[in-house]
Chains A and B, each alone.
Chain A
C-alpha cells in the first residue's frame, strides 16, 4: 500500500484538489482510502464519502494536530489495510507552518495558494522544503507572470520538488497528481520523519492559563532567541 500525506494551510484547497485526484485514481483502478485530521470540527468526511471510498476522521482536540497525525500513522495504515485500500491519503489539518508531518517513504504533497503572494514559499519552511510535490492552487486569480514568479520562488525554496498547477474548482492538475501517486512505491515498515516536529514541552502544554513568565516551566524560548530550561 502507498501512503500520501497532504499538508498545506487552511483554505489552500487541499480537499478540493483531493476530491478530483481521488476520482482520477478510481478511474485508473486504484482504491484510495482517506483519513482527514482536523482540530475541533470537520465535515470533510461528508465530501469524501460522496466519492464512495472508505473515509475516517481524526480530531486532535487538545493535542497538536500534526503531532496527533504522526502519532496515529501506524493506526491509520492498519485501518486502510483493513479496507483493502491501495493508497492511504492522509489530509492534515494544516495549521502551523513549522511542522512537516511527512515520514520518509510517503509521497509528501504540499498544497499552497498562489494568491498568498510570491514571498509565501520562503515563509513556509519544512512543510514546503521537504515536500516531493508542491501543488499551487488558485492560479486562475492572478496573471501568468505572477504564477511564474511564484513558481520560481517555490523552486528556490525546494529545487527538487515537482510543481503541479492545480485548480480545485475545474480539476486542473488532478490527473497529474494521480499519475504521480500511481508511480510511487509502497510505504515501508519503519517510518522516520523527514524533519523534526517543533518543540513544545512546557507548562502551557499541560493547561496553564496564566500568562506571566513566572508561571511557566519547561523548555522555553525567549523573543530574543534565547532558549532555556526552567524547572526541577
Chain B
C-alpha cells in the first residue's frame, strides 16, 4: 500500500458561499491538529470532508488530496483500501448484533484477522468503567461503553495512517488515554474539541466560524506551559470524579492548584 506523507485540505466556501480565509492546509505524519470553533461552525463537516476524501462534491466544495494528488475512487470508497479512521460524535450503535458478531464483520470488511476482535474488547474495557462482554447486544451498551468500543475498534481494526476524532471528551471515557491510544506515533491526527487540554495538546489548531476555516494557529511556548498546568488540574478533576463515581467522599482531598 502507498505510504502517506502528506494530507492536503484545499479550502472551499463557508455557509454564505464566501471563500474561506485560508487557501490550503498541509498536514504531515506525526502531527496532531486541533479543530476548534463554536457549535454549528462547521467542525464536523470538515472532518466528514476528510473522511469522504471530498473532491469539491460536498456543500463546502473542499478538496482533499493525499500526497498532493486527488485519490482514486476505490481509495475513497472501499474500506479494504481506505486509509482513514473516524471516531464520530455518534454515541450509540443501531446494529442489532452482538459485540463479537459486529467486530468480526468489521474485521472482515477491513481485511483484518478475526483474532483482532478479542483485542478490541480488551482495550475498550480499559477505557470504560463497566465491562463490555463479547456476547452483549450492541444496542444495550451505554454511551460510554459504545464510545470506548468505537475508539478501540479504530485503534485495532480500522488502524489507519489518518485518524479523525470528533469530541472525544463528550464520551464519558478517559479522554487523554483514548487520545494516546488513537494518536499513535507517525499518524496524521485531526481532533475536533471544545476541551482546552486537548486543544493545547495539539501542534496547530484550525479555527472555524460560520462553516469556514478562518485561521490556523500554532501552539505557542506560553500555551504549552498553560497546557501542562491544565493537565495537572484535569487529572485532579478526574480523580475527584472517580472518587465521587465510586461512592467516596471528597471533603478531605487536598487542593493541588
Contact = CB atoms under 8 A, between A and B. Distances in A.
Contact of A149 (B77, B86, B106): B106
B86 A146 contact: no
A227 interface: no
A160 interface: no
Contacts of A172: 52, 57-58
B81 to A, nearest CB: 12
Contacts of B150: 143, 145
Contact of B85 (A119, A144, A170, A176): A144
Contacts of B154: 144-145
Interface in B84-109: 85-88, 90, 93-97, 102, 105-106, 108-109
Nearest to A147: B79
Contacts of A118: 95, 97, 102, 105
Interface in A141-179: 141-146, 148-153, 163, 165, 170-172, 174-176
B158 interface: yes
B153 interface: yes
A182 interface: no
Contacts of B87: 143-144
A84 interface: no
A163 B96 CA distance: 22
B110 interface: yes
A144 B93 contact: no
Contacts, number: 77
A148 B93 contact: no
A143 to B, nearest CB: 5
A152 B158 contact: no
A203 to B, nearest CB: 37
B100 to A, nearest CB: 13
B51 interface: yes
A129 to B, nearest CB: 19
Contacts of A149: 95, 102, 105-106, 109
Interface of B: 48, 51-52, 57-59, 77, 79, 85-88, 90, 93-97, 102, 105-106, 108-110, 150, 153-154, 157-158
Given A119-B95, A119-B96, A172-B58, 17 more contacts: A117-B95, A140-B88, A142-B90, A143-B93, A143-B150, A144-B158, A145-B154, A146-B94, A148-B109, A149-B106, A149-B109, A151-B79, A152-B79, A152-B106, A152-B108, A165-B52, A171-B57
